[in-house]
Each structure stands twice: as structure tokens, then as C-alpha cells.
Amino acid sequence: MKFLAFLNPTRRLVGRLFLWFWVTLVLTAVTSAWLARMFYQPFQIEKPLNSDIQQLVSMVNDLERRKTEYDRFRTLLRDISMEKRRSLIAVDVDTGKVFNDGGPPLREDEENLLAQFARQSNYISVQLGPMVAIGPVLVEFNGTSHAIFWRRPDGKGGPERMLTWIIPTAVVISALFCWLFAKSIVRPIRHLQHTGRQLAEGDWQARTDIKSFRRDEIGELAADFNLMAEQLSSMWLGQKRLLADISHELRSPLARMQMAIGLAHQQAFDTPTLDRIEREAERMEALINHLLQLTRAEAGKPLMKRIALRETMKELFQDAAFEASTNSKHFNSEEIPDITLRADTNQLNSAVENVLRNAIRYADTQVDATFTVTDEQLTLEISDDGPGLTPAECQEIFKPFYRPSASRERKSGGVGLGLAIAQAAVALHKGTIRARPGDSGGLVVTITVPLGNERE
């Protein structure tokens, strides 16, 4: 059984390609032949045209005139057919034997049909597929009676009419089978694409089940994809645990260091040195707090509840205006929309706060915040007039610890986690956050959160 399964051509994609095209070709040929037989009715009998009767009588007269020159009637029939470039058929009236010495051979049923009409007293026109036989006319040769028929194309575009059926049939059948085959290939690929997008959006449990019903190369690709997803999930979870563990472990020695700095200040040690140590300890504490905040945001467990947007962000925007004024900068904001939506208050505020503080830190003189509300979403756009970033850097600034090399340097005092925290918090709300260079310089960060049916 394993050997037979190994020989199964459908196990491989190349085998499926061959079988689909082969079956399509065979089915197209069979269907076209069947339609051709249905289209042509070989036993249709009609009254012949006078012109056809005249040509037949003319050829029979030549036979009568020259039959004394021949010993065999079949030789005479062949020569007259070649000279006249016509297809003549003779039927022995007594035996029913058919002589055909010009044109395509007759099928057995066509020969039997002509034999039945050999004694016909009136002229008839018999449909023989794409040809028409006109006759009969009796001719005596050496004591044997022969019924003469003249066979010609039916004059109604027989082969052409056949093509009008065969070509559309071939196009329809091949298009249908090719579409089905293409769909069978594209469907699992789209499933892989959808699963890949889920992974990219942070769903580390996303897996594909293609392997369960595919044994070809696409099934192998699905198995490798799931293996890759397992490894990525393991690495991501390990990174999160490492950040969380480091953050928690550093808090205890940091607390003891700050306590020791306080005691040293009381005992009047070298004040400048202690001040510098204290600043570094504060920076370390800020880094640890940011790491913990990023870890909580990426945990993906928001505490969603209905909140009033204006009430929630009013104090946050007041703090931003105060921070900007203390740095000799201006913060301009539109009125916060009076809407209600479901959100995690802490995470949403954290996202907006990190973007605002980042804009205030790098602005030269001014930061602007504008709102746009539609039936589907809330959009907050925060812009500054600082040095700005390149489009490539705008794609990278949401990565943890990323720092542009040129305009925004470490002297700003940040730790490179603020925008990463903002992105993780926005993702918890199924929203998006994007950055782009401003039209007049600076940086524009756009936060979009879907409202669904929660708007009031």
C-alpha cells in the first residue's frame, strides 16, 4: 500500500498539473466529438436541388458512354471520379455492396443507409455527416445493376459549423477546469497568507491546517510554516520573559542604590559625584519602568470598558501643555471629541502620552494635535516642527530601543521605548499607529482606533 501511495501522481504538485491538463484535454475532445455527432444528423433526407440532379445525370451519362471501354465497373467509377473531380459512390443493387472511389471512406452505417435507398425511384438527398449524397441513378454494367450516388459537401459550412461548436466547447471546458485547478492551488496559499498576517499582527497562536489535507509541496510548505511559527512564538515569549525578569530583578538593587545615595547625601560625601550617580539611577529606573510598561502592553490582556474620551484625556492634554510651556514650546490642540468608546484607559493614555512627550521632546517650537471622528474610527494626529525623519526611519521608530542616527540622538534623554509602548498599546485596541515626515518638516504620528458601534 505504501508503494502504491508513493506512485500516486496526486502526491506531488507536478502530478496534479499533468493530470488536470490531461483530463481537460481528454474531456474537451470527448465532449466536442459528442456535440459534433449531435449537431450532424447523418440520416436526414431531403429533396435535392435541380442543379445537383443535373450534375449527377451528366456524370452518369459519361459512365454510360464509356462503360464499353472497361472490364471492371470499379475502375470506370474511379476514372470518372478523378476526371470530374467528384466523389461518386456505386451500390450493387443485388448484393448491397458499396464502391467508394473518391473522397473520405464511408462508415458502415452510412453504407447500409445507401444500400437501403439503392432502389429508390425518386431522387433524394441524404445527409452523411458533413457530406450529402444525391441519387440514385441506375446503371447496368455486364448484367449487374448499380445505383449511382454523387457525394459532395453539404454546402452549409459543415466543417466551419463544426468548429463553431468545438472551439467554444474547448474554451469553456478548459477555462472551467483551469479555474478549478487554479483555485485549488490559490486557496491554501491565501490561507497561508492570512495566517502570516495574523502572526505579523502579534497572534502567536496562529497556525495553518493545510498539512492535514495536502500531501504535495504546498502541504510541505504549510508544515514548514507551522514549524517557523512555533519557533518565532518560542523566541518571542522567551524575549518577553527575559525583559520581564530583568526588569523585576533590577528593581531591588536599584532601590538599594537609591537608598545608599540618600544616606551618602546625609553624610555630606562628594555632592557632584553623588548627583551624577543619582541621575544615572533615575535613568535606570525610567528604563526599567518602560520595560515593564512595554511587557504589560504586549501581554495582550486589555481591561476594556466604556470611557468618555474627553474626560479621560483632558488631564493628559493639560499636562502636555504644561510640559511644553516649561520647555519654551507651544502645544496647540483641537477640542477633544465628546464621544464614548470601549478602551483600556491606562493603555490608551499611555499610547497618547508617549507620542505627545516624544513630539514635545523633539519639537523646535510647536506641537499640534488634531482629531477626526467618523462612524467607524477615531483618528488623532500629533505633529511637531522638529528635525523630522526619513520615510525609512519612520518605519523603524516603533521598534524597541531604535534610535535614528542623525537628528534624534541619545542626548534627548529618552530610552527608545516610548513609541514601541505606544504601538503595543494601540494594537491592543485593534488600531494602527503610523509615522511620516511632515509636509513642512517635522514628524507626524497618526493614531487610529476603531469605534465600531460604540460611538454615542
CA-wise closest residue to 77 among 66, 136, 53 = 66
Confidence band for 196, pLDDT divided at 50, 70 and 90 = confident
| DSSP state letters, 353-386 | HHHHHHHHHH-SSEEEEEEEE-SSEEEEEEEE-S
pLDDT at 443: 92
Question: Which residue, among 146, 143, 113, has the nearest Cα to 128 in the 3D structure?
Answer: 113
Q: List the grid coordinates of 103.
A: 473522397
Distance, in Å, from the CA atom of 73 to the CA atom of 56, rounded to the nearest integer, reads 17
In the predicted structure, residue 410 carries a pLDDT above the cut 60? no
- Is residue 380 predicted with pLDDT exceeding 60? yes
For the stretch 204-227, pLDDT in tens is 788 887 766 666 777 778 888 888
Residue 332's pLDDT band (boundaries 50, 70, 90)?
A: very high
CATH fold of the domain at 302-450: Heat Shock Protein 90 (3.30.565)
Which alpha helices (H) appear in 138-216, and where do they start and end?
158-200
Instruction: Name which residue leads in pLDDT, 385 or 172.
Output: 385
Give the strand pairing for 45-46 and 131-141: unpaired
| Residues ≥6 apart with Cβ < 8 Å to 183 | none
**What percent of the chain lies above the pLDDT cut of 70?**
70
What pLDDT, in 10s, does the model give residues 39-81? 555 567 888 888 888 888 888 888 888 888 888 888 888 888 8
User: In sequence order, which residues have a C-beta less than 8 Å from that of residue 284 and are 6 or more positions away?
Assistant: 250, 254
Tell me the C-alpha distance between 420 and 406, whole Å.
20
Name the residue ranges covered by the structural domains of the chain.
2-39+161-194, 45-156, 210-297, 302-450
Which range (177-181, 187-191, 205-209, 254-258) has the least confidence?
254-258
**pLDDT band, very low/low/confident/very high, at 4 (cuts 50, 70, 90):** very low
Dist CA 20 CA 178 (whole Å)? 8
Res. 448: pLDDT tops 90: yes
β-pair type (144-153, 131-141) = antiparallel
Evaluate whether 51 touches 75 at the Cβ level (below 8 Å): no
Q: Does residue 164 register a pLDDT over 90?
A: no
DSSP structure string for 132-158? EEEEEEEEEETTEEEEEEEEEE-SS-H
Q: How much is the pLDDT for 43?
A: 61
Residue 296 is predicted with a pLDDT of 63
pLDDT tier at 246, thresholds 50, 70, 90: low
CATH superfamily assigned to domain 45-156: Two-component sensor protein CpxA, periplasmic domain (3.30.450.210)
- Sequence-distant (6+) residues with CB within 8 A of 131 are 87, 103, 104, 151, 152, 153, 154, 158
Res 370 pLDDT > 90: yes
Q: What angle separates helix 217-266 from helix 158-200, to the nearest 10 degrees?
A: 20
Characterize the bridge pairing of strands 330-333 and 366-373: parallel
pLDDT over 70 at 157, yes or no:
no
Q: How many CB atoms lie within 10 A of CB 166?
A: 19
Mean pLDDT value across the chain: 78
Q: Identify which has the larger pLDDT, 289 or 449.
A: 449
pLDDT, position 189: 81
- Whether residue 111 has pLDDT greater than 80: yes
User: Are residues 352 and 379 in contact, defined by beta-carbon separation less than 8 angstroms?
Assistant: no
CA atoms of 193 and 208, how far apart (whole Å): 10
Is residue 304 predicted with pLDDT exceeding 70?
A: yes
Place of cell 459512390: 89
Confidence grade of residue 436 (pLDDT, cut at 50, 70, 90): very high
Residue 44 grid coordinates: 436526414
Question: What is the predicted pLDDT for the residue at 121?
Answer: 83
- Under DSSP, is residue 383 helix (H, G, I), strand (E, B) or coil? strand
> pLDDT confidence of 444, banded at 50, 70, 90?
very high
- Looking at residue 431, the DSSP 8-state letter turns out to be -
Residue 345: all three cell numbers together? 484607559
Contact 27, 174 (CB under 8 A): no
Q: Class of the 210-297 domain?
A: mainly alpha
How far apart CA 443 and CA 396 sit, in angstroms, is: 13
Mean pLDDT confidence for 437-445: 89
Query: Which cell numbers in the block locate residue 79?
Result: 476514372
Nearest to 151 by CA among 128, 124, 120: 128
d(CA 352, CA 368): 13
